[in-house]
Amino acid sequence: MNPWRWLSWLVMILACRASQFDNGADKNAIPDMSDNVTERLEIINGTPNYKLIKPDKSTQWFPEREIKLDSCVRRARCEPLNKTSCLGSKLPYDKTSVHLTFYDNQYQIQTQLELYRELINVPTCWAVIQPLLCSTFMPKCERILGQDMVYLPSYEMCKITMEPCSILYNTSYFPSFLKCNTTLFPSRCENAVREIKFNTSGKCLPPLIHTDKPLHFYEGISGCGLPCRDPLYTEDEHQQIHRLVAWGAGVCLALNLLTVATFLIDWRSANKYPALVIFYINVCFAVASMGWLIQFGVGSRDDIVCSKDGTRRQGEPSAEENLSCVVVFVLVYYFMMAACVWFVIFTYAWHMSFRALGKIQDRIDKKAAYFHLVAWSLPLILTIATMAFGEVDGSSVTGICFVGYVNHPMRAALLLAPLSVVLALGGYFLLRGVFSLIAVRVSSKDVISPRAANKIRQTITRCSLTAALVAVFICVTFACHIYEFRNAELWKEAFKKNIICRLEALKEPEKECSGGVRPSVSVLQLRLLCCFAAGALMASWTWTAAAAAAWRRYAARCAALY
């Protein structure tokens, strides 16, 4: 053959080879040596990963941003799938790789995936994490450009799980390779697993229950909420508190009604200030006690404190629920606040009476309209403000709806702050009145009769005892509320740790979970006793010889009628 022909063939071959490597392709790309180039690999800087570029119509697009999504791959060893489904859904490929995990074989991976099925107890997490688990534990693997390549899950697939699964992300539940690092999870990568339809229905780990109300979602577990029955208290503790409320409110109601009846049977002589204020105080405590006792009707407690979905009522009033919670709140809160205002008026009236014995009666009677205006309007303002802020919450333990069971600062502002004012003003007027009486007794001991001196002494004793007991009741109430405020986060965190531990125990059966710290039922009992004891104390102002005489006269009148 002609040597020139050989030379021309050699030049043509070299020219073709040169043009193949000098066509503008990325120097980091792995070339396709085949005819008809349809795809290529571009290395992702700083990682062992590649973008698989497929310049054809099958490439997916991200419509929100008009960005083309390419597959992301990494060198691995492919092996046939031992199981063609993942978490109950069929996989659209037949080969996988174990190189994205810490595990050595598919049997270990299947065992681990079965354990992750317990994430069904975190419904919103379960709904979004299944594609991530399958694309990581059982990823697609195939031969690309002569090399085994495994398809990587995208960073977006991982990131979307962070909030729904947040309750477990900072624990040992997930291995490090599921913590959304950008080496394993490159951004904007198309993955075949995203097209698989999974069963997204979940359930809630007891004691949590399913709810669709975001307000009731338990922290970190959307779709689940705390049950109406407070899990921080045992069933026995619930029954203890219910018995205490029944006896305390029942006795308080009986004593208050007896006092009201004592005034009514002798209204002509009893209808005078400051004694008449005791009548209004007892009316208020009687109505509040009725509010406490409503829960003991058949099915009433659940109707009052529980939502329709079985969670505890909070943020009332709401359009979705009935008014039973709000009605009980008004009966208890409004009339207890009214009783407190009437108590301050009572101490003021006594103070004015003691300052000028025998001269002040007309002046006090003329202020009656102002007393009523203040006593009924101030509690009304507080009640309306509480409902406007949506701070009425139910409690399965006490069986009523009250202010700030959830929002403690609001309870401090709408309950403890008014009680502070009552303690300050009531204590001031009572002490001033007692000092006035003591001054009268000392300055007039040689003038007044022994009977008058004895009456002054009894009044001083009663006022002093009332002031001391009211101060004790309010201070103990403050201490109980402060105890709850200071420890609420501790109890909440202990309960959350227990929930997390029990979720982890589903994956690690040998793990033991303790209940952690809980609130003291004795503190709650003490707080409730102070409430009912205050009502009984106000009723005791009619436990006098004059009241007994009034009942004897009433009995005589009734006997005369028959």
Out of 175-179, 323-327, 354-358, 402-406, least confident range? 354-358
- At 254 the pLDDT is 96
pLDDT at 34 over 50: no
Tens-place pLDDT, residues 115-135: 888 889 999 889 889 999 999
- How far apart are alpha carbons 534 and 330 in whole angstroms? 19
Q: Within 13 Å, how many C-alpha atoms sit on residue 180's CB side?
A: 15
Q: Is the dihedral of CA 342, 347, 352, 356 positive or negative?
A: positive
pLDDT at 171 over 90: no
DSSP state of 331: I
Out of 270-274, 378-382, 399-403, 550-554, least confident range? 270-274
Pairing state between β 209-210 and 221-225: antiparallel
DSSP state of 311: B
In which band, very low, low, confident or very high, does the pLDDT at 356 lie, cut at 50, 70 and 90?
low
pTM, two decimal places: 0.81
Mean pLDDT, to the nearest integer, of 415-439? 86
The answer to whether 55 and 39 are in contact (CB under 8 A) is: yes
Closest CA to 288 of 324, 338, 247: 338
Q: Within 13 Å, how many C-alpha atoms sit on residue 361's CB side?
A: 6
Say which CATH topology domain 215-550 has: Rhopdopsin 7-helix transmembrane proteins (1.20.1070)
- Asked if the domains at 21-195 and 215-550 fall in one CATH topology, the answer is no
pLDDT at 65 over 50: no
Tens-place pLDDT, residues 363-385: 677 788 899 999 999 999 999 99
- How far apart are alpha carbons 287 and 301 in whole angstroms? 18
Sequence-ordered list of residues with C-beta below 8 angstroms from that of 103, at least 6 positions apart, any chain = 109, 112
The tokens for 545 are 């010889």
Q: How many C-beta atoms surround the C-beta of residue 548 within 10 A?
A: 12
In which band, very low, low, confident or very high, does the pLDDT at 462 lie, cut at 50, 70 and 90?
confident
The answer to whether 289 and 253 are in contact (CB under 8 A) is: yes
- At 21 the pLDDT is 39
CATH architecture for the domain at 21-195: Orthogonal Bundle (1.10)
In which band, very low, low, confident or very high, does the pLDDT at 445 lie, cut at 50, 70 and 90?
low
pLDDT at 27 over 60: no
Q: How many C-beta atoms surround the C-beta of residue 528 within 10 A?
A: 20
The fraction of the chain above a pLDDT of 70, given in percent, is 87
Instruction: List the chain domain ranges.
Output: 21-195, 215-550
Higher pLDDT, 147 or 23: 147
Average pLDDT, the chain: 84
- The per-type count for the chain, helices as H runs and strands as E runs, is 18, 16
- At 141 the pLDDT is 92
The answer to whether 144 and 224 are in contact (CB under 8 A) is: no
pLDDT at 43 over 60: yes
In which band, very low, low, confident or very high, does the pLDDT at 444 lie, cut at 50, 70 and 90?
low
Higher pLDDT, 44 or 394: 394
- Rank 179-183, 275-279, 403-407 by mean pLDDT and report only the highest: 403-407
- At 363 the pLDDT is 66
Give the DSSP per-residue string, 128-141: HHHHHHHHHHS--E
